[in-house]
Amino acid sequence: MIQNQRIILRGPSGWGKTTLVGYTLPGRTFIIETDLGGMASLARVDTDKVTVWECPTDEPNLNEALRTSDPGKVHSTQLPSTEQAEPRALHELKRLLKALTAPQPIPNCPHYTMFDNIVLDTISGVTDIVTNRVLWLSKRISPALSGPDYVPVQATLKQQLKMLLRVQGPNIIMCAHEYTERPDGEFAFDGAAKIKNPRKNRYKLTLAAPGQCRDDIPAMGFGHGFRLNLTGAGSTMKYMLQTRPESPDIVGIKTAWPWLPLEVDVTIGNWAHPERYGLARIFELAEAGIPRGAP
């Protein structure tokens, strides 16, 4: 069985990343679910093979809620007070990671030796947890992150990811939302791949991560950066996993298994046996190309 791989599974929100990791990974899987709505996608997983830890939800910080609003039109009574309950989700996530990655198993706690795959779903979910905590500590009221916030948010986010990536044995899969970054620095949320020459127009696909983390995270030891694409419509719709870029100007989509096709059909063809499709198909193709005797 494939072991010790580091994979970023990226794609627009709602395109099926959680379903793929929950239903099609071979072996025993542990999912750290930080994404709102992710539990609904995992409602029918085989609990004999898949363990899901749902991150607790903090009292919403209006800094996040206001991102799509005009701050000038928000009444002051709608803003969070300095007495807002302390966000605890980051503490609980750190406790889980400490137990999961400890040198020796801790009684009644999950441990990496119990699983073949560990999934973090999603990077942007962890970002929101960290952001909520940082903004509460600073007692700042703002509809979005500003300059002073980025350093502690990025450092704390990468600290959590690095802890998982140090684990040897299980495959580490991190799901990430993907946006199209426009020349003006804004994001397009429709998932359309509006890629132009980044040296000129600077349209590019990017991870939903804060600031420099969009470039730092893919470089943190991930051997694979797979992108989920949808083709067709209705009964002809296919879920295709892109394994490497079709253009050298597109970064972050890559594989350490060069014999894989450019795109692999990961559509679940039979829900009675989802383990025969999806990421299991990717691992099957990977194993077929690994030379005998190779680690």
Q: How is 74-118 classified by DSSP, letter by letter?
A: S-GGGSPPTTPPPP-HHHHHHHHHHHHT-SSPPTTS--GGG-SEE
* Residue 48 per-residue DSSP state: T
Give me the mean pLDDT over the 226-253 stretch: 82
pLDDT at 86: 77
Strands 29-33 and 50-54: parallel
- Identify the band that residue 198 occupies on the pLDDT scale cut at 50, 70 and 90: very low
User: Is residue 5 within 8 Å of 223, Cβ to Cβ?
Assistant: yes
67 band by pLDDT with thresholds 50, 70 and 90: very low
Which pLDDT value is given to residue 64?
42
Which stretch of 120-134, 175-189, 230-244 has the lowest confidence by average pLDDT?
175-189
Cβ neighbors of 81 (< 8 A, separation 6 or more) are: none
Q: What is the pTM of this model?
A: 0.84
The residue that leads in pLDDT, 76 or 227, is 227
d(CA 102, CA 82): 36
C-alpha distances (whole Å) from 45 to each of 31, 55, 109, 197, 271 are 11, 18, 21, 41, 11
With H, G, I as helix, E, B as strand and everything else as coil, classify residue 230: strand
